[in-house]
Amino acid sequence: MARVVTIRTVAERAGCSIATVSRVINGSARTSPEVEARVRAAVQELGFRPSEIGRSLKTLRTRTLGVVIPSLTNPVFALSVSGMEDGARQRRHTLLLTTTDYDPTREPEMVETLVAQNVAGLVLTVTNADSNPSLDLLEAEGIPYVLVYNEPTRPDRAAVCVDNAGATRALTEAMIADGHRRIVYLGGRFASSDRSRRRYLGYVTAMEGAGLPPEPAVELDYLGDAEGHARALAALFRDRHHPTAALCSNDLLAISVAGALRKLGLEVPGDVSVAGFDGISLGSLITPALATIATPNRRMGERAVEKLFEMIEQGEPPSIEHLDYTIRPGGTLASAPGGTAEAREQHPPCAAYQTVPPSSSPTSD
């Protein structure tokens, strides 16, 4: 498809040089009003649209941002991408979107694809933010990037996230205050989610803080595998002395778990309380509403892009930014079947149902 009208065509039509056309289009230098008018007229008539490729080849940077996320089907990521798009459009950039389907081996592939496209920067959610060849590559090449959701231990990696450990800790403490003693943590595989690891950490901290023995994490395959979840839960809840609360590392998992529990003949929250993490709107639509930790998903994507531009344009050094989260109460959470009223009065769970600014919960690692 030969490009019909180039900057040269416009120059001829306007009776000037291509340099002048470029100046008019980009406003990169002053031009006389007459010439400018002629150029604009020519652009109009010819329907000229400058090629981003030609521009990019010269300037060695594009107006695109690369995005790498696990999946679009999880509303959490769809929302964050939505926020990224807003942020990008404000700066006249577009998103080059790729997904890994939760497969870590696909991360390098996607990152290399994006780098080959000379993206101005990247926004990504990876499985492991601390030890990650793709991020190493980006740093080696000097290509700016910002992580979303990931919460790196290394402070030299740019990220926009919530205090994952602090949030689960707060939620676990609320459960304990509600009289729960045997609480189980269900999460994605640790190998493929540093978030799941950090969230478990918060759970452990809360349990130990209350003098309760933390249960080992139950690692489940990600979403969609309802059967697998059901099997794992059957083993866990067969016992008469089963846990009275299930803390899930994300909302979709929590919804799946609640469904599986009901199929086992257990009532939610009568027999088992369930809570999630993410705050997708779906959680509020089901009955009973899912208790969860609501994170500012769209805002996280938008802020990540803002941060990326700060790094690109103002050379800001990478840093980790924590955004607020909210513990959102819901009908899936109730007092423990055997819980005492006193315990509840002592630690009214409502105290936790507030937006938590990042500064107030500097969870240790």
Partner DNA sequence: CTGTTAGCGCATTCAA
Partner DNA sequence: TTGAATGCGCTAACAG
The site for its own copies (CB under 8 A) is made up of 1-3, 49-54, 56-57, 60-62, 64, 71-73, 75, 78-79, 81-82, 85, 89, 94-99, 112-118, 142-143, 255, 282, 285-287
Q: How far is Cα 15 from Cα 39, in angstroms, rounded to an integer?
A: 8
- Of the CA atoms within 13 Å of residue 144, those in its CB half-sphere come to 21
Q: Compose the 156-175 pattern: x for residues touching DNA by CB under 7 A, - for all others.
A: --------------------
Residue 53 interacting with DNA (CB under 7 A): yes
Residue 37 interacting with DNA (CB under 7 A): no
The interface partner of residue 7, options being its own copies, DNA, none and the CB cut-off 5 to 8 Å by kind, is DNA
Residue 60 interacting with DNA (CB under 7 A): yes
The interface partner of residue 285, options being its own copies, DNA, none and the CB cut-off 5 to 8 Å by kind, is its own copies
Give whole-number Cα distances, 361 to 130, 152, 353, in Å: 22, 17, 14
Calculate the dihedral angle through the C-alpha atoms of 158, 162, 163, 165, rounding to the nearest 10 degrees. Answer: -110
- Which residue's entry shows tokens 């993206």? 119
Closest CA relative to residue 47, chosen from 4, 17, 12: 4
Closest CB to its own copies among residues 28, 73 = 73
Q: Per residue in 184-214, is it b (16+ CB within 10 Å) or e — as a string?
A: bbbbbebebbbbbbbbbbbbbbbbeebeeeb
Which residue stretch of 25-33, 82-90, 212-220, 268-276 sits at the interface with DNA (rule: CB under 7 A)?
Answer: 25-33
The interface partner of residue 19, options being DNA, its own copies, none and the CB cut-off 5 to 8 Å by kind, is DNA
Nearest-approach distance from CB 138 to its own copies, in angstroms: 12
Closest CB to DNA among residues 22, 99 = 22
The interface partner of residue 16, options being its own copies, DNA, none and the CB cut-off 5 to 8 Å by kind, is DNA
The interface partner of residue 30, options being DNA, its own copies, none and the CB cut-off 5 to 8 Å by kind, is DNA
Closest CB to its own copies among residues 17, 56 = 56
Closest CA relative to residue 65, chosen from 128, 9, 148: 148
- Number of other CB atoms surrounding residue 350 within 10 Å: 11
* Sole binder of DNA in the list 12, 40, 46, 50 (CB under 7 A): 50
Q: How far is Cα 150 from Cα 196, in angstroms, rounded to an integer?
A: 10
Cβ proximity of 165 and 328 under 8 Å: no
Number of residues that bind DNA (CB under 7 A): 33
Residue 31 interacting with DNA (CB under 7 A): yes
Closest CB to DNA among residues 32, 281 = 32
Which residue stretch of 13-21, 82-90, 214-222, 354-362 sits at the interface with DNA (rule: CB under 7 A)?
Answer: 13-21
Residue 40 interacting with DNA (CB under 7 A): no
* Sole binder of DNA in the list 41, 57, 234, 350 (CB under 7 A): 57
Residue 36 interacting with DNA (CB under 7 A): yes
Closest CA relative to residue 278, chosen from 288, 291, 266, 292: 292
Nearest-approach distance from CB 106 to DNA, in angstroms: 23
Any bridge partners for residue 321, and if so which? Answer: 160
The interface partner of residue 146, options being DNA, its own copies, none and the CB cut-off 5 to 8 Å by kind, is none
Closest CB to its own copies among residues 49, 357 = 49
List residues near DNA by CB under 7 A. Answer: 2-3, 6-8, 15-20, 22-23, 25-26, 28-32, 34-36, 48, 50-51, 53-55, 57-60
